[in-house]
Amino acid sequence: MYKHIVNFIQDLYKTKEFIPLHVPAFTGNEKKYVLDTIDSTFVSSIGEYVNRFEKEFAEKIDSKYAIATVNGTSALHIALLLAGVEENTEVITQPLTFIATCNAINYLGAKPHFVDVDKDSMGLSPTILKEHLRKHAIVKNGECYNKITKRKISACVPMHTFGHASRIDEIVAICDTFCIPVVEDAAESLGSLYKNKNLGTFGELGVFSFNGNKIITAGGGGVIVTDNVELAKRAKHLTTTAKVPHRYEYVHDEIGYNYRMPNLNAALLVGQLEKLDFFVQNKRELAKKYENFFKDSSIKFKTEIENCYSNYWLNVLFLENKKERDTFLDYMNDNGIMSRPVWQLMNTMKMFENSQKSPLENSKWLADRIVNIPSSITP
Ligand SMILES: *Cc1c(COP(=O)(O)O)cnc(C)c1O
């Protein structure tokens, strides 16, 4: 029944074999740079590729500073700590996100507080956020408090779902009026723009991931970006065990974290970063083909909202309802085309089921309908 879709995707990838959702491509200098770290023996915590990556990444996305980490989750952990998130405070985020967002909030002893997304952007809704804060939040001495729980609302973490932009300028403006710092979870949206500005650079801090399934990969890796020099210095210090520089003494001036990206991973990543523009271009062309294919179908292909330039990290279809979604998922996966639903909504997980939340109609609507289809670079 979805045979024509299977055929179309097999033609795109020029194969009748199993087609995964997203695989990395190493067609540039990756091998050369990785071998270079092995030849030099500098594979670990010292080496030039980490510094080179941080400099080139910051330039690439027009951020002043970039600090590489072992993965995106650790980057989120430190970014939230630097934003001022503490024990027994609340962090606003969307229920439609990957578990890492909520895990990082909990590592600091804080609680997620869920606000709904917009259907069209799949990202945090500024309209619902504003209404929710007006109703439930109060600002005292430059800090925001939840009127019901009395806890401080210490940060807001919008996430740009599958590479598509949230209305991030509006979100930041609302959070500013409520004295809430914004940490952007841009893990999925490297290379995406909103109003011609790179996602991840709107908030006080932004975070990206270089896990194996992301648009570029370090094997595992992450990065924190900011324009604030003090936060950048603290990020570097905290992610490198808070060691005070010295020729030979081991002095650490606070509790730090061993979150530094190894040079081996950074070498792979420097090679990948050189290919980013090509990847985004290739993925946008693929998205265009999907868009045309589904133009007259009852299955809707997710396109960009106004002012968004998407990296189309994972392509999204909206099925008519949950039943159709499951029929589609079964058919595709039975026929060698990897296809997946969106994550289980965070507010329905047992760890977070008692969290405060706005009405979450849009998230529920999306969770019943979204499927991802193969999105790797096409030959
Ligand atoms: C991938 C991802 C992360 C970070 O993941 P790591 O595997 O720790 O690098 C965080 N948030 C979202 C939304 C993600 O998709």
Write out the two tokens for 283: 């993925």
Are 247 and 275 a contacting pair, CB within 8 Å? no
Res 245: pLDDT: 93
Q: State the distance from the centre of ligand 1 to the C-alpha of 11, rounded, in angstroms.
A: 30
Closest residue by CA, ligand 1 atom 4? 72
Ligand 1 atom closest to the CA of 98, numbered from 1? 13
- pLDDT at position 133 is 98
**Ligand 1 centroid vs 98 CA: distance in angstroms?**
7
3-state secondary structure 60-83: HHCCCEEEEECCHHHHHHHHHHHH
Q: Enumerate the H helices of 178-258 as residue ranges.
A: 229-239
Q: Determine the pLDDT at residue 45.
A: 86
Residue 1: its pLDDT value, please? 83
Nearest-atom index, ligand 1, CA of 72: 9
Atom of ligand 1 at shortest range from CA of 73: 8
Relative to the CA of 209, which ligand 1 atom is closest?
A: 9
pLDDT at residue 134 above 90?
yes
Look at the alpha carbons of 239, 187, 213, 59 in this order and tell me if their dihedral is positive or negative: negative
List pocket residues of ligand 1, CB cut-off 6 Å.
71-73, 97-98, 100-101, 159, 185, 187-188, 209, 211, 222
Cβ atoms of residues 368 and 325 within 8 Å = yes
Ligand 1 atom, smallest distance to 104 CA:
10
Report residue 84's pLDDT band, with 50, 70 and 90 as the boundaries: very high
| Residue linked to tokens 């997980």 | 349
In this predicted structure, the answer to whether residue 112 has a pLDDT above a threshold of 90 is: yes
d(CA 9, CA 4): 9
Q: Using the mean position of ligand 1's atoms as its centre, give its distance from the Cα of residue 157 in Å.
A: 13
Question: What average pLDDT does the structure give for the chain?
Answer: 98
Q: What is the mean pLDDT of residues 160-178?
A: 98
- With a cut of 90, say whether residue 261 has pLDDT above it: yes
Length of the chain: 379
Q: What is the mean pLDDT of residues 121-130?
A: 98
Torsion angles phi and psi, residue 360, rounded to 5: -120, 40
Burial of 219 from C-beta contacts in 10 A (0-12 / 13-18 / 19+):
middle
pLDDT for residue 317 is more than 90: yes
Residue 321 CA, ligand 1 centroid: distance in Å? 27
Closest CA relative to residue 115, chosen from 347, 367, 352:
347
